[in-house]
Structure 1
Amino acid sequence: MWNRLTALHAQVEGRLATVLQRRHGLGLSEYRALGLLAEAPKSELRMQELATGLGLNQSSVTRLVARLGAADFTYRDLCPDDKRGVYTVLTDAGRTRHREARATYEEALTGALDEAAVGAPELAPLLGAARSALG
Structure 2
Amino acid sequence: MATTQDRQLVEQWRSIQNSYFRTAAAIDRALEAKFDIGLNEFEILDLVAESVDSACRMKALGERTPMTQSAVSKVVDRLEKAGLVSRVTCADDRRSLYLELTDAGRTLHSDAAVEHRALLKENLGE
Give the TM-score normalised by the residue count of structure 1: 0.80
Residue of structure 1 in register with 2:7 after alignment? none
Aligned residues: 115
How far does residue 5 in structure 1 lie from its aligned partner after superposition?
1.3
Letter in 2 for 1:39: E
Residues 1:82 and 2:71 aligned together: no
SS at match of 1:64: helix
Q: What fraction of aligned residue pairs are identical, expressed as a percent?
A: 32
- Deviant stretches of 4+, over 3 Å: none
Whole-angstrom CA distance in 2 between matches of 1:38 and 1:79 = 18
Q: CA RMSD in A?
A: 1.1
Mapped partners of 1:35, 1:46: distance in 2: 14
Q: How does 1:1-135 map to 2 (within 5 A)?
A: 1-114=12-125, 131=126
Q: Aligned with 2:91: secondary structure? A: coil
Structure 2: 5+ residue runs without aligned partners? 1-11
Give a deviation string over 1:52-93, Cα, whole Å, max 9, x none. 122221101110110110111101111111111111111111
**Structure of larger gyration radius:** 2
Give the TM-score of the pair, scaled to structure 2. Answer: 0.85
**Separation (CA, whole Å) in 1 of partners of 2:79 and 2:123:** 27
